[in-house]
């Protein structure tokens, strides 16, 4: 007798983004014409990037820049360098940026960029040539009033400095506001390096208050130990939490009584990996998602928590520092289990929020203190969490759908008021 097999789960990021949109749009009873506008990307640019390698050979890389929506302001979003970048992934990330900016109420639309490459195998000179040529190719559609890139996976403040300089050379004058996430010496902002994780911390504090959990002494697991993951581990530890598990792409580490985060950070900085830390149990990276804890922070890439492994997740709160780490199938299981999920478009919005502060500072050449940045960020994130939680409660749905309802309603209203040209 043949046994039935479960339907294959959708893992295409852009299809997932559309599913998340449609679920919230149904609650809003959004008409089909407006759905057609808001579901689709406004502009998609595909570019070829010839790069002279150190050995003399010229390689051609493919790059993308997608602008999903600009109804509420210029597009905003990071640039990632990764061998698995796809156009659909960039489209999904651009749409998530639209909803993210609307969730926290900053006047941007969503954009995203990516280049298919393996930055770990390239020299600094090769990366600079790649970055400058990519910046030149997308120059017609970016700018302080059009589309403002920022760092993302395997890009950083140096990458942004190269882009800013390239665009400035094209325009014939310095364009500080063309990118955010720059070095402080080139118009960068205090607090930007920690912004994504710090914003997540403020949202997490609010979530703990709702769930009746004290972050002090809470057990926390962090999947992914890049910029966001390593910093959230340090910040929650400073709040008194016990980080019991963490991982990078190669190795996971576990300690029942909590990791010595300062020692872990020093080891990671010195060796580039979490392997070889004394006094901890080494586990597989994916096992971090299955550790029993109070707070789980997926901080790596998309599709980390799926229908295949969600049943093994043992936590009370999930704070998504990565973009798209949880699939719709997994969402429904988490909702049924009563696990509070702080969705990516809220949990990791601290990065784009402080990028907005940087852009404002660049526009006026008037720079804020780190204390002012962090206080303003806390006010923004706490207010956004409360509005998302209120929306979710009013519609009787989960936090992700609540955030989408809030965001889509804001973008839809801007679209209605502006109208369709011509």
- The SS3 assignment for 28 reads helix
Could you tell me which of 256, 206, 261 has the C-alpha nearest to residue 238? 261
373-395 pLDDT, tens digit per residue, is: 999 999 999 999 999 999 999 99
36-95 pLDDT, tens digit per residue, is: 999 999 999 999 999 999 999 999 999 999 999 999 999 999 999 999 999 999 999 999
* pLDDT of 96 strictly over 90: yes
- pLDDT of 4: 45
* pLDDT of 3 strictly over 70: no
Kindly tell me the burial class for residue 45, based on how many C-beta atoms sit within 10 Å of its own C-beta (0-12, 13-18, 19 or more).
Answer: middle
What's phi and psi for 226, nearest 5 deg?
A: -85, -150
Whole-number Å distance between alpha carbons of 406 and 21? 11
**Cα 152 to chain center, whole Å?**
8
Residue 416: other Cβ atoms inside 10 A = 11
Over its C-alpha atoms, the chain yields an Rg (Å, rounded) of: 21
Per the CB < 8 A criterion, the answer to whether 317 and 294 are in contact is yes
Per the CB < 8 A criterion, the answer to whether 223 and 288 are in contact is yes
End-to-end CA distance of the chain: 61
CATH 3.40.50.10860 matches 40-101+109-186: yes
* pLDDT of 6 strictly over 80: no
**pLDDT above 90: percentage of residues in the chain:** 94
Task: Write down how long the chain is.
Answer: 422
- The SS3 assignment for 228 reads helix
What's phi and psi for 180, nearest 5 deg?
A: -120, 175
Could you tell me which of 131, 141, 130 has the C-alpha nearest to residue 163? 131
Domain boundaries, the chain: 40-101+109-186, 195-347
155-207 pLDDT, tens digit per residue, is: 999 999 999 999 999 999 999 999 999 999 999 999 999 999 999 999 999 99
According to DSSP, the β-strands at 75-82 and 295-298 are unpaired
pLDDT class of 301 with cuts at 50, 70, 90 = confident
Strands (E), 122-210: 147-151
Whole-number Å distance between alpha carbons of 73 and 270? 42
3-state secondary structure 35-51: HHHHHCCCEEEEEEEEE
pLDDT class of 230 with cuts at 50, 70, 90 = very high
What mean pLDDT, rounded, does the chain reach?
Answer: 95
Report the C-alpha dihedral over residues 200, 145, 163, 118, rounded to 10 degrees. 50
From residue 43, give the alpha-carbon distance in Å to each of 89, 180, 254, 279.
15, 21, 44, 51
pLDDT class of 10 with cuts at 50, 70, 90 = confident
18-39 pLDDT, tens digit per residue, is: 999 999 999 999 999 999 999 9
Per the CB < 8 A criterion, the answer to whether 208 and 283 are in contact is no
CATH 3.40.50.720 matches 195-347: yes
According to DSSP, the β-strands at 295-298 and 281-283 are unpaired
Q: Which residues form the catalytic set?
A: 112
Mean pLDDT computed over 207-233: 95
Kindly tell me the burial class for residue 105, based on how many C-beta atoms sit within 10 Å of its own C-beta (0-12, 13-18, 19 or more).
Answer: middle
Indicate if 195-347 has the same CATH topology as 40-101+109-186: yes
In which element (H, E) is residue 219 found? Answer: strand 219-223
Whole-number Å distance between alpha carbons of 206 and 157? 30
136-153 pLDDT, tens digit per residue, is: 999 999 999 999 999 998
Could you tell me which of 288, 357, 362 has the C-alpha nearest to residue 322? 288
3-state secondary structure 318-353: EECCCCCCECHHHHHHHHHCCCEEECHHHHCCHHHH
């Amino acid at each position: 007798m043949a046994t039935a097999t479960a339907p294959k789960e959708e893992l295409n990021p852009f299809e997932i983004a559309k599913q998340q949109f449609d679920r919230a749009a149904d609650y809003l009873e959004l008409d089909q014409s407006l759905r057609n506008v808001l579901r689709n990307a406004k502009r998609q640019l595909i570019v070829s990037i010839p790069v002279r390698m150190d050995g003399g050979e010229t390689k051609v890389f493919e790059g993308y820049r997608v602008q999903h929506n600009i109804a509420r302001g210029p597009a905003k979003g990071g640039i990632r360098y990764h061998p698995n970048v796809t156009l659909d992934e960039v489209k999904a990330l651009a749409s998530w940026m639209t909803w993210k900016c609307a969730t926290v109420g900053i006047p941007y639309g969503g954009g995203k960029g990516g280049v298919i490459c393996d930055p770990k195998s390239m020299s600094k000179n090769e990366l600079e040539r790649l970055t400058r040529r990519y910046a030149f190719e997308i120059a017609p559609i970016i700018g302080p009033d059009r589309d403002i890139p920022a760092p993302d996976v395997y890009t950083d403040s140096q990458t942004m400095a190269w882009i800013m300089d390239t665009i400035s050379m094209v325009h014939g004058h310095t364009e500080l506001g063309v990118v955010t996430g720059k070095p402080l010496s080139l118009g960068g902002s205090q607090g930007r390096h920690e912004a994504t994780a710090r914003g997540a911390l403020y949202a997490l504090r609010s979530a703990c208050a709702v769930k009746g959990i004290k972050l002090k002494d809470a057990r926390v697991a962090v999947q992914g130990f890049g910029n966001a993951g390593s910093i959230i581990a340090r910040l929650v530890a400073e709040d008194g939490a016990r980080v019991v598990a963490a991982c990078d792409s190669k190795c996971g580490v576990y300690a029942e009584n909590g990791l010595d985060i300062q020692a872990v950070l020093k080891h990671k900085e010195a060796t580039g990996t979490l392997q070889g830390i004394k006094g901890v149990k080494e586990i597989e990276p994916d096992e971090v998602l299955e550790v029993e804890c109070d707070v789980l922070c997926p901080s790596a890439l998309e599709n980390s928590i799926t229908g295949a492994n969600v049943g093994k997740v043992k936590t009370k709160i999930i704070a998504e520092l990565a973009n798209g780490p949880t699939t719709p199938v997994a969402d429904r299981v988490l909702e049924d289990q009563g696990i509070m999920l702080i969705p990516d478009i809220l949990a990791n919005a601290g990065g784009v929020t402080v990028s907005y502060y940087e852009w404002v500072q660049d526009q006026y050449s008037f720079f804020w203190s780190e204390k002012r940045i962090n206080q303003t960020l806390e006010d923004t994130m706490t207010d956004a969490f409360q509005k998302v939680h209120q929306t979710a409660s009013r519609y009787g749905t989960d936090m992700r759908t609540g955030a989408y309802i809030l965001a889509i309603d804001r973008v839809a209203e801007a679209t209605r008021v502006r109208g369709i040209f011509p």
